[in-house]
């Protein structure tokens, strides 16, 4: 893939998987537009990569159009920003459920609609990668909103692929298991909690953010020209064990 001149919008680019993706894209010659919430993260990313930055909260759904339109045109899109909440099913409250669904599912839909309308108007054969999760297929205790939001994102990915494929636009998701982002390190640093999960992963370890970024870049790239509508496990084989 020749990334040179390709303009890629990456949401959630301040930390973790989104940041690793933005850094990898920039190092391979892409022009990155990094969207995230914390200004400090974006400032350090700009220093590191020379990327453009957009500081915004994607939870404010009604503001997404005003936020994203000035960043157009782009060639490729990575919907990576994500959030969670820890609540048991019976105690899940609606406002938290809607907040998680808003950031993880509704924001990627609204943002993608804006980008895709622009591509259709200009005849651009773009590609979108939605960052989903292994949790889309599992019943993870205390993760009702998160699991529902990622399962919905996978379903939306398939519909987008079916509807937009005839226009040459590809849409896929990546579905990582535990990834050692700052948040992942915090949640999974206790061996008593982590070891039983690692034992179920045939490759025996959690992921580095760069390993998810590599899968994202593959799905964005011309190398994946006939890959459309998949939810790609990036999980060391957990899904088949
Ligand atoms: P992370 O380290 O917490 O980074 C998330 C990034 O997204 C941060 O820069 C954050 O900004 C930004 N963000 C969050 N909410 C936002 C909002 N409302 N508007 C704009 N930006 C927002 O998370 P991560 O672990 O890299 O996760 C990235 C994606 O991978 C998520 O969709 C997550 O569900 C998925 N995933 C993660 C794992 C894992 O184990 N880490 C596994 C499977 C899937 P602030 O810090 O400023 O809020």
User: CA 75, CA 122: separation in Å to the nearest integer?
Assistant: 11
Q: Looking at residue 85, what is its pLDDT?
A: 93
Q: Percent of the chain beyond pLDDT 90?
A: 95
Output the residue whose Cα is nearest ligand 1's atom 1.
Answer: 16
Reported confidence tier of residue 182, pLDDT bands at 50, 70, 90:
confident
CA of 131 to the centre of ligand 1 (A): 9
* Omega within 30 of 0 (cis) for the link into 73: yes
User: Which atom of ligand 1 is the closest one to the Cα of 12?
Assistant: 7
Q: Is 35 an active-site residue?
A: no
Within-domain flag for 95? yes
Reported confidence tier of residue 187, pLDDT bands at 50, 70, 90:
confident
pLDDT at 222 over 90: yes
Q: Looking at residue 188, what is its pLDDT?
A: 85
Within-domain flag for 202? no
Reported confidence tier of residue 161, pLDDT bands at 50, 70, 90:
very high
Could you say which of 110, 146, 178, 234 is catalytic?
146
pLDDT tens per residue across span 76-90: 999 999 999 999 999
Decide: 64 and 110 in contact? Cβ < 8 Å.
yes
| Global pTM value | 0.98
The stretch 88-98 carries a mean pLDDT of: 97
Within-domain flag for 58? yes
pLDDT at 103 over 90: yes
Output the residue whose Cα is nearest ligand 1's atom 2.
Answer: 16
Please provide the average confidence, as pLDDT, over all residues in the chain: 97
CA 140 to chain centre: 19
The stretch 139-154 carries a mean pLDDT of: 96
Q: Which of 12-21, 153-162, 176-185, 222-231 has the lowest mean pLDDT?
A: 176-185
Within-domain flag for 213? yes
Within-domain flag for 128? yes
Within-domain flag for 134? yes
User: CA 83, CA 8: separation in Å to the nearest integer?
Assistant: 22
pLDDT at 71 over 90: yes
pLDDT at 183 over 80: no
Give the total number of structural domains in the chain.
Answer: 1
Within-domain flag for 75? yes
What's the CATH number where 24 sits? 3.40.50.720
Within-domain flag for 239? no
Residue 61 lies in domain: 7-179+209-229
Decide: 233 and 131 in contact? Cβ < 8 Å.
no
Protein residues with CB under 6 Å of any ligand 1 atom: 12, 14-18, 36-38, 41, 57-59, 80-83, 103, 131, 133, 176, 178-179, 181-184
Reported confidence tier of residue 193, pLDDT bands at 50, 70, 90:
confident
CA of 176 to the centre of ligand 1 (A): 12
Reported confidence tier of residue 184, pLDDT bands at 50, 70, 90:
confident
Q: Looking at residue 225, what is its pLDDT?
A: 98
The stretch 137-143 carries a mean pLDDT of: 93
């Amino acid at each position: 893939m020749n990334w040179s001149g390709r303009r890629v919008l990456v949401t959630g680019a301040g930390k973790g998987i989104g940041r690793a993706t933005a850094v990898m894209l920039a190092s391979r010659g892409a022009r990155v537009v990094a969207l995230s919430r914390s200004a400090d993260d974006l400032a350090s990313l700009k220093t590191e990569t020379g990327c453009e930055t957009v500081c915004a909260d994607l939870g404010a759904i009604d503001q997404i159009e005003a936020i994203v339109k000035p960043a157009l045109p782009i060639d490729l899109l990575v919907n990576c920003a994500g959030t969670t909440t820890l609540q048991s099913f019976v105690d899940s409250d609606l406002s938290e459920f809607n907040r998680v669904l808003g950031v993880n599912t509704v924001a990627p839909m609204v943002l993608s609609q804006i980008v895709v309308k622009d591509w259709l108007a200009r005849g651009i054969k773009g590609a979108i990668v939605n960052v989903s999760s292994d949790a889309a297929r599992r019943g993870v205790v205390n993760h009702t909103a998160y699991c529902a939001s990622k399962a919905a994102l996978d379903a939306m990915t398939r519909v987008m692929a079916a509807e937009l494929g005839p226009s040459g636009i590809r849409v896929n998701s990546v579905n990582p298991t535990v990834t050692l982002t700052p948040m992942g390190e915090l949640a999974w640093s206790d061996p008593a909690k982590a070891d039983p999960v690692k034992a179920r992963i045939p490759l025996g370890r959690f992921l580095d953010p760069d390993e998810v970024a590599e899968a994202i870049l593959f799905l964005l790239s011309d190398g994946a020209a006939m890959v459309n509508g998949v939810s790609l496990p990036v999980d060391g084989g957990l899904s088949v064990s």
